[in-house]
Amino acid sequence: MIDLRNIGHIYNNGLSNQCRALIDVNLNIKEGEYISIVGQSGSGKTTLLNVVSGLMKPTEGEVLFEGTDIYKLNIDGLAKHRNKSIGFIFQNYFLEPKFTAFENVAIPLLNNKITKEEILNSVSKALTEVGLYDKADKLVSMLSGGERQRVAIARAIVNNPKVIFADEPTGNLDTTNGEMIMSLLEKFWKQGKTIILVTHNEIQAKRAKKTIKIEDGKIVSVLGNE
């Protein structure tokens, strides 16, 4: 489904603070895989995730999604790809604190030409999936960290994407809330979604079916988990 070909990424190319964050990364991700990405802080995990998901064009190489080189699409095409095919979850949630849970989850739907009723249905379904239907009208700023991350997950799945990318989604959460997030990811994987999870936590990483280790911008191992 996703093919990375000779991906390299240099931040601040040519400047004194130049940083080579990815070096010749080749990777094939199949539909329905559950992959974890591990590596020390600064090894390039976030850069890799952003490149694969269509958030950031790498300075070298190609990212093919179902055969299409996503960074050869025009701005509209790439935005459409991100909106339709991928969901993204961040460590810091990236929600609008002054909006309600409902409004936050509705954001990805607003570009689509759909009716109010369809928005209501899709958002209600997504919030139900993460167990927050009863908090739909609460301002996000009034919710706990675990609840915020579940709102962010609802937002990530509201368009029914094929792939969910999660960048250290439990990094700011306690064990109980972290477990809730992991269970949700596993639930979506069992529903057929492809999951790509960046984590520092070795136990979490092993719950994925495959673990990719990255060091200094290079993939150093790809291991199957029992």
Does residue 176 sit in helix, strand or coil?
helix
Nearest distance in Å: CB 45, Mg ion = 5
25 to 64: interface string for ligand ADP, x by CB under 6 A: --------------x-xxxxxxx-----------------
| Pick 53 or 159: Cβ nearer Mg ion | 53
Q: Which is nearer to ligand ADP, 45 or 213 (CB)?
A: 45
Among 1, 10, 19, 107, binds ligand ADP (CB under 6 A): 19
How many residues in total does the chain contain?
226
Q: Quick one: 16 or 176, whose CB is closer to ligand ADP?
A: 16
d(CA 90, CA 152): 8
Among 7, 33, 35, 46, binds Mg ion (CB under 5 A): 46
Classified as helix, coil or strand, 166 is: strand
Q: Give the Cα separation of 177 and 160 in Å (integer).
A: 23
Which amino acid, residue 170? T
Distance separating alpha carbons of residues 89 and 84, to the nearest angstrom: 15
Nearer to Mg ion, 45 or 155 (CB): 45
With tokens 């990811």, the residue in question is 185
Q: How many whole angstroms separate alpha carbon 106 and alpha carbon 97?
A: 14
- Write out the two tokens for 97: 């604190």
Closest contact distance (angstroms) between CB of 167 and Mg ion is: 6
Shortest distance, position 92 Cβ to Mg ion, whole Å: 11
Least distance (Å) from Mg ion to the CB of residue 50?
9
Contacting residues toward ligand ADP, per CB under 6 A: 11-12, 19, 21, 39, 41-47
